[in-house]
Chains A and B, each alone.
Chain A
Amino acid sequence: MPSRKQTSDIAEDQETSFLKAFEEYSDALFRHAAMRISNREKAIDAVHDTFTKVWSYVRQGHQVDSFRSFLYKVLNNLIIDEYRKHKESSLDALLEIEGVDEGSFPELSESTVEALAATIDGRKAFALLEDIPEQYREVLIFRFVDDLGPKEIAELIEESENVVSVRIHRGLRLLRNKIESGIAAAEKRRVTK
């Protein structure tokens, strides 16, 4: 059993680590939340709630090895809750609507994703991000904004790596299609003029 001084030291370490995590990840978490919720105030509240929930977990005596993934996990759950408040159908239901067995695609490798991404203009894709379904937007933000690998994303959203890779691939393809259809529409308007 640790002595009182040791306990005190552990507590100070927890506080220090937590505040350090705030300084380190609050911006990234806010960015992630803002991109997914599309409401600045709600994004700030989501980040606040994320930190308070994590602190509550810590104050009960739990040890947190990696604040980064834990914070993202909590934030993701809060965002899903937020979505569920406003959307009649759940994310799972949306997936069912898609009618796709996400693990069955052959183009799951990172190289395939890279090849697809190389064909897309990042700035245009960013602008069109809100136009694609949430489950794709989620993984694309995790992957290209938060710079998380498929394995980390899979742990966060509690899906398999294959599903994550498929969603990234599909999200990128959707973005590319939207970019291309935008270009085609613009060309058509130009020709019409």
Chain B
Amino acid sequence: MKRFSQQFNKKAKDICLNLVEKRDLRERVVSYMEYHPLLNVYRGETAMVSGREEHFILFNFNKWRVLRWSGSMALLLVVSISYIAENAIPGDTLYAIKVGFNEELRSTVTRGSYEKVVWETERLNRRIAEARLLADEGRLTQEVEAEVVSAIKLHSDNARREIEHLKLSDKDEATLASLSLTTALDLQSVSLNRRDNGNQVEGASQSTDLIQAVLTQTQNAELIAQDNELPSYNRLIAKVESETTRAHELLKGVTEYATTVEQSDIKKRLDDIDKRIATAMALFESDELAAKQGLVNALQQTNRLIVFMTNIDVRANLTIEELVPNTLTTEERFGALQLRVQQTDSLIELAEIKLSTSTATSVDESVIEKVLPAIENSKVTITNLKELLLISDGAQLETMEALALDAYNIISDVVSLLQIQEREVLRELEAETPSEVEILPGQEKSTTTETHLEV
């Protein structure tokens, strides 16, 4: 057998790959290995396969690590800069990143027209907040204000465009988005106006008139563009539900930093809104339009309350009562009415005192003729109201409130008129007797001021 094997094997050995075939075959196999590296390892596999030297393997390994490290660092840097840029304001180096990168990126990833409207509104709020901050610091130059105005127009235009786009597919959603936008514009406008008025009194920082004008203009344009139609009842209910839920969640969130009084105020408003919603829902069967209008009002109140809880600038310039007026209970309304009657009574008394001393201060006869009937009228109204308050069960509460307000306004005007008259007479006296003015007017003024404070 050995001889057979040797002969057989020797013949077989003649069959073999030539050098070229073997080299080609090896290259094909190695190439396959390079394109299909080992799955479960992390390294430069191909280096060994292709027969490179050891230092090449090391170099590749390090290069890979360096690339990964550099990538991680670059990513970290981008994230850090983006994060820091969020607090930038116009004029800062990173402001361009905030507006041009962060916000644009978020705009790109925001899906859905409604969400886009919300985001554009948020951007608008941001621009106004920046302008307010700059104005407080005295850095709101004309150029920056022009930029802010331009940005407000841009964002409101974007929001409007999305609303128009939304109208084609979902009219209810478009109306809701429009309501949200107008509420935001209204709030910002009122807040800026209040801030400027406050600053005028205190003589502080710059005005934001131009921004206010643009906001008002944008708000008017939005109101004109709005259809008079209200969203469907079901959509309104759903929206109101989600917004009130959000408001309740925010209230839970503010418990850490809000005072007990503030929390109580917010909770009271939320309870009021719940009552408004319940009333509107009860109206649905009999008067759907009134029910929808009630829900829209409740939604706007909720949005305002949310802004109060989330926007520190608005909170700084407006009180919660200004934003969301409290709805009083019948008892509270009675209490307020009694207070109003007392205040009117005090003012009548004050007016009478001023008139009784009119000869000393020589109040104009024509003025006396005008104010006397007004005082008498107010006195009669208040006397009647006092009697009514004793017997009323709340049936004519609104009428009584209106009467009390009228009487209060009239007597307030009377007192103001008498005070003006007093000041004019004093000025005349000062002009006539300059030597005495140095002593007497000061005493008189302080007396007047004290009287005014008492009122």
Given A27-B22, A59-B39, A144-B9: A12 touches B4 (CB 8 Å cut-off)? no
* CB of B5 closer than 8 Å to a CB of A: yes
Residues of A within 8 A of B48 (CB): 12, 15-16
* CB of B257 closer than 8 Å to a CB of A: no
* CB of A55 closer than 8 Å to a CB of B: yes
Report whether A35 and B8 are in contact in the complex, using a CB–CB cutoff of 8 Å.
Answer: no
CA distance in complex: A11, B37 (Å): 10
* CB of B1 closer than 8 Å to a CB of A: yes
* CB of A89 closer than 8 Å to a CB of B: no
CA distance in complex: A147, B10 (Å): 12
* CB of B33 closer than 8 Å to a CB of A: yes
Residues of A within 8 A of B3 (CB): 118, 122
CA distance in complex: A8, B4 (Å): 48
Given A55-B29, A56-B36, A59-B39: A144 touches B8 (CB 8 Å cut-off)? yes
Which residue of B4, B28, B33, B40 is within 8 Å of A61 (Cβ)? B40
Residues of B within 8 A of A122 (CB): 3-11
* CB of B380 closer than 8 Å to a CB of A: no
Within 119-145 of A, Cβ neighbours of B (below 8 Å) are at: 120-123, 125-127, 141, 144-145
Tell me the interface secondary structure of chain B in the complex: helix
* CB of B12 closer than 8 Å to a CB of A: yes
* CB of A91 closer than 8 Å to a CB of B: no
Map CB proximity to A onto B18-58 as digits: 1 under 8 Å, 0 otherwise: 00011001101110110011111111010011000000000
Which residue of B16, B25, B43 is within 8 Å of A48 (Cβ)? B25
Given A122-B8, A145-B12: A55 touches B42 (CB 8 Å cut-off)? no
Within 30-71 of A, Cβ neighbours of B (below 8 Å) are at: 30-31, 34-35, 44, 47-48, 51-52, 55-56, 58-61
Report whether A47 and B25 are in contact in the complex, using a CB–CB cutoff of 8 Å.
Answer: yes
Residues of A within 8 A of B29 (CB): 22, 48, 51-52, 55
* CB of A113 closer than 8 Å to a CB of B: yes
Query: Considering only CB atoms, which chain A residue lies closest to B36 in the complex?
Result: A59
Residues of B within 8 A of A145 (CB): 8-9, 12
Residues of B within 8 A of A147 (CB): 9
Within 93-132 of B, Cβ neighbours of A (below 8 Å) are at: none
Interface footprint category on A: 35 or more
CA distance in complex: A47, B22 (Å): 11
Report whether B8 and A48 are in contact in the complex, using a CB–CB cutoff of 8 Å.
Answer: no
* CB of B17 closer than 8 Å to a CB of A: yes
Which residue of B5, B6, B21, B40 is within 8 Å of A44 (Cβ)? B21
Report whether B16 and A31 are in contact in the complex, using a CB–CB cutoff of 8 Å.
Answer: yes
Given A7-B40, A61-B40, A113-B1: A26 touches B17 (CB 8 Å cut-off)? yes
Report whether B16 and A125 are in contact in the complex, using a CB–CB cutoff of 8 Å.
Answer: no
* CB of A162 closer than 8 Å to a CB of B: no
Query: Considering only CB atoms, which chain B residue lies closest to A4 in the complex?
Result: B42
Report whether A59 and B37 are in contact in the complex, using a CB–CB cutoff of 8 Å.
Answer: yes
Residue of A30, A56, A127, A147 with most chain B CB atoms under a 10 A cut-off? A30
* CB of B15 closer than 8 Å to a CB of A: yes
Which residue of B21, B26, B39, B45 is within 8 Å of A22 (Cβ)? B26
What residues make up the interface of B, taking CB atoms closer than 8 Å to A?
A: 1, 3-13, 15-17, 21-22, 25-26, 28-30, 32-33, 36-43, 45, 48-49
Given contacts A11-B38, A113-B1, 11 further A-B contacts (CB under 8 A): A10-B41, A15-B33, A26-B26, A27-B22, A35-B12, A51-B29, A59-B37, A118-B1, A121-B4, A123-B10, A125-B4
> Could you pull out 15 A-B pairs where Cβ atoms are within 8 angstroms?
A14-B38, A22-B26, A26-B25, A26-B26, A30-B15, A31-B12, A31-B15, A55-B29, A55-B36, A61-B39, A113-B1, A115-B1, A125-B4, A125-B7, A145-B12
Lowest 3 A-B CB distances belong to which pairs?
Answer: A122-B7, A122-B8, A117-B1
